[in-house]
A = this chain, B = another copy of it.
Amino acid sequence: MPKIRIGLIGYGGIGRVHAAAYRAIPFHYGLPADSIQIAGVATSRAETAARAAKEIGCDFHSADYHELLARADIDAVDICTPNNSHHAIVAAAAAAGKHIYCEKPLAMNVVEAESMAQAVHSAGVKAQMTFNFRFFPAILRARQLVDAGFLGRVFSFRGRYHRSSYISSEKPMSWRLRRAITGGGALFDLGSHILDLLYCLLGDFAEVNATLDTLIKERPSAAGAAEKTPVDVDDIALLQARLADGALGTVEISRMGTGATNDLTFEIFGDRGAIRWALDDPAWLYAFDLRDADSPLGGERGFRKIEAVGRFAGGKAPDPSMTPDFMRVHAECQYQFIRSIWDDKPTSPSFDDGLHIQRIMDAAERSSKRGAWVRLNDD
């Protein structure tokens, strides 16, 4: 297998996570240390780019990502920049024939996302979303159960992603609260994760009935400032949703979930079984099997706390019986991207998956404005 040489675009918190995860891949999958290289990094300023290159240990760095794309020794780019730059970078990278790994959400809106999905198809490059939570062992196991028919007919579901990062009205404005940069608020930032988990387990969404709100409507323009700036993105989004197969559920997304650190959870209810999982108890999948009633002892049904530790993480686990972490699941997501290049197979989660999530979020915004149910593919 040829070496894969990655160009990182963006090196904030999530860029650092991606970089560290690439470094960990050889140990998790038994590969030569040099099979994956971070060959260059581009950020918005020369100074941060140079600092990033030193931490990463790569020679090339630039304040212009086009320079990175122009290099022949870059096979793939990894996009960790704010949402409002994704579209342009993807267009340029696809045009340059680079494979693309892109942080969520894919785009600022459905129009951009459609264009990006089209661009990578046309260019014939591999393109994958960072939906890293899909790669927790518990989710991998949940997908196996769902695929094997464990749930039967799905009646309903519930998803949530709560954080409490914005409950203080003294917390000042930031780029995460500006629609022009992010495209959306809690719905985009947190919602994209939980919506993707439900989608990867249960399939297409058909329609949504959503209420978005901004509970704190203006914030200090800067830390401690008396001046206030209006917030133009949601900090809470409540969805009712119907899936293509008829299941009816609810999704709660909030940056105002007092007490929550990373309260991402879902539950799915079917006529043969039920499953649930929570990100803050990540090593366990809870599953209820109606067929347990057939036990010779009679009626010992109950939610089982199923082990979903390191050995189920994919690849070799050097820590097979331990709780896997955030970095570990990024490594698995990134490894799947690299495998799709090596094996010339479709990526998963693909940009088409990213586009579907974008359509759900778009429908939620339209529904909230109308105060009514909205179908995903309506105008």
Q: Which of A112-120, A257-265, A334-342 contacts B (4 or more CB under 8 A)?
A: A257-265
Q: Which single residue of chain B is at the shortest CB-CB distance from A15?
A: B318
User: Which of A51-59, A93-101, A177-185 forms contacts with chain B?
Assistant: A51-59
- Assess the A282–B250 pair: CB atoms within 8 A: no
A163 smallest CB distance to B (angstroms): 8
Which residue of B31, B305, B323 contacts A325 across the interface (Cβ within 8 Å)? Answer: B323
Q: Are B57 and A30 in contact (CB under 8 A)?
A: no
**Further 6 A-B residue pairs, CB within 8 A, beyond A259-B274, A259-B302:** A17-B319, A23-B23, A33-B54, A163-B321, A261-B307, A302-B307
Contact in complex: A271, B252 (CB < 8 Å): no
| Given A213-B248, A258-B271, A297-B145, A327:B318 Cβ within 8 A | yes
Assess whether A290 is in contact with B258, with CB atoms less than 8 Å apart.
Answer: yes
A residues bordering B, Cβ < 8 Å? 13-14, 16-17, 19-20, 23-24, 26-28, 30-34, 54-58, 144-145, 148, 150, 155-156, 158, 163, 167-169, 209, 211, 213, 215, 236, 238, 240, 248-250, 252, 254, 256-259, 261-262, 269-271, 273-274, 280-284, 287-290, 292, 296-297, 299-307, 309-310, 316, 318-328, 371-373
Question: Can you offer 17 A-B residue contacts whose CB atoms are under 8 A?
Answer: A16-B27, A17-B27, A19-B27, A23-B24, A23-B27, A27-B55, A155-B236, A156-B254, A280-B283, A300-B304, A301-B306, A303-B304, A322-B325, A323-B326, A325-B327, A327-B328, A371-B372
**A162, closest chain B residue (CB):** B269
Distance of A141 from chain B, by nearest CB (Å): 8
Bound-state CA distance A287–B302 (Å) is 9
Instruction: Give, as a whole number of angstroms, the nearest-CB distance from A91 to chain B.
Output: 28
What is the total number of copies of this protein in its complex?
A: 4
Q: Is there an interface contact between B318 and A322, defined as CB atoms closer than 8 Å?
A: no
Taken together as a complex, chains A and B put the C-alpha atoms of A65 and B105 apart, in Å, by 50
A149 — nearest CB in chain B belongs to which residue? B297
Residue in B215, B282, B288 whose beta carbon sits within 8 Å of that of A155 in the complex: B215
Cβ–Cβ contact B305 & A305, under 8 A? yes
Within the assembled complex, what's the spacing in Å between the Cα atoms of A20 and B322? Answer: 15
Closest residue of chain B to A248, judged by CB? B213
Residue pair B148, A297 in contact (C-beta under 8 Å): yes
* Separation of A57 and B25 alpha carbons in the complex (Å): 13
Contacts of A281 in B (CB 8 A): 281
In the complex, are the beta carbons of B297 and A307 less than 8 A apart?
no
In the docked arrangement, what's the CA distance between A54 and B213, Å? Answer: 54
Give the distance in Å from the alpha carbon of A270 to the alpha carbon of B324 in the complex. 28
The one of B28, B33, B283, B371 that contacts A57, using a Cβ cutoff of 8 Å: B33
Question: Cα distance A280–B301 when bound, in Å?
Answer: 16
By beta carbon, the residue of chain B nearest A58 is: B33
Partner of A248 from B57, B211, B310 at Cβ < 8 Å: B211
* Cβ contacts under 8 Å, A320 to chain B: 13
Q: How far is the CB of A283 from chain B (nearest CB, A)?
A: 6
- Return the 6 tightest CB-CB contacts between A and B, nearest first: A33-B57, A325-B325, A259-B288, A20-B27, A258-B274, A322-B326
Q: Which of B57, B249, B319, B321 contacts A327 (CB 8 A)?
A: B319
A309: chain B residues within 8 A (beta carbon)? 261-262
